[in-house]
Chains A and B, each alone.
Chain A
Amino acid sequence: DTGVSQNPRHKITKRGQNVTFRCDPISEHNRLYWYRQTLGQGPEFLTYFQNEAQLEKSRLLSDRFSAERPKGSFSTLEIQRTEQGDSAMYLCASSSRRDPTNEQFFGPGTRLTVL
């Protein structure tokens, strides 16, 4: 499978705990994105990497959230001191600099439930 993969697919945690999600983009894609979808809403942009550089960050990305892409390949999204409001589907996408339309290909997401 050469698509975008995300792990874990589901995560249940207690309020106050830290969680980390991983995204593996399509191998030749240098751009990587994180989005979050809450119930009844469309996906909302969180952050964007070009190679290892984090170039855009949403106001939604509070100081409890941190994303990294250390070698320009996979990325991790960490949420510290989780709150119930963090419960959502976290989606990762990637795109290629060679594609002028910058079509973004999505993974299946990680569903986070904070109890």
Chain B
Amino acid sequence: ILNVEQSPQSLHVQEGDSTNFTCSFPSSNFYALHWYRWETAKSPEALFVMTLNGDEKKKGRISATLNTKEGYSYLYIKGSQPEDSATYLCAFRWAGSYQLTFGKGTKLSVIP
């Protein structure tokens, strides 16, 4: 059984604050780590796919890092805006399979 854990479960921040979340996953048999943003009533939006230990990816104010040896990834949001309010999901893909195993997500609320 694969366990993908995300913390915190939910987070409230003020507009302009920077924040970060954690995703932990099995360190063995790793193939890729995906991050998604899911707003209510919309499709989950792909943010990043990371495959190499030490990977760092950035999209605007959002960035992510990957440590496959210890089995964790961080997602950072700089200068949070109300439109960043969403649930952020990470998903682990192990070698030999195409399925994704998701964490429960971190629900971010940005207060104007």
> Chain A interface (Cβ within 8 Å of chain B)?
3-4, 31, 33, 35, 40-45, 48, 50, 55-56, 58, 91, 95, 101-109
Q: A3-B43, A105-B46 are in contact. Are A42 and B34 (CB under 8 A)?
A: no
Given the complex, which residues of B lie within 8 Å of A40, measured CB to CB? 104
- Is the beta-carbon distance between A42 and B99 smaller than 8 angstroms? no
B19 CB–A CB distance under 8 Å:
no
Q: A48-B99, A102-B98 are in contact. Are A91 and B44 (CB under 8 A)?
A: yes
- A55 closest partner in B (C-beta): B98
Number of B positions contacting A (CB below 8 A): 24
Given the complex, which residues of B lie within 8 Å of A41, measured CB to CB? 104
A-B contact pairs, 21 of them (CB 8 A): A4-B43, A33-B100, A35-B100, A35-B102, A42-B6, A42-B91, A42-B103, A42-B105, A43-B44, A43-B89, A48-B98, A50-B98, A55-B98, A56-B99, A58-B99, A101-B32, A102-B32, A102-B98, A103-B34, A106-B44, A107-B43
B59 CB–A CB distance under 8 Å:
no
Smallest CB separation, B21 vs chain A (Å): 13
Cβ-neighbour of B42 out of A35, A58, A101, A108 (below 8 A): A108
- A50 closest partner in B (C-beta): B98
Q: Identify 15 new A-B residue pairs, CB closer than 8 A, beyond the known A33-B100, A58-B99.
A: A33-B99, A42-B4, A42-B91, A42-B104, A43-B102, A55-B98, A56-B99, A95-B98, A101-B49, A102-B49, A102-B98, A104-B46, A105-B46, A106-B36, A107-B43
A50–B43 CA distance with the chains assembled, in angstroms: 22
- Is the beta-carbon distance between B103 and A103 smaller than 8 angstroms? no
Cβ-neighbour of B99 out of A45, A101, A106, A108 (below 8 A): A45
Cβ-neighbour of B100 out of A104, A108, A109 (below 8 A): A104
A107–B98 CA distance with the chains assembled, in angstroms: 17
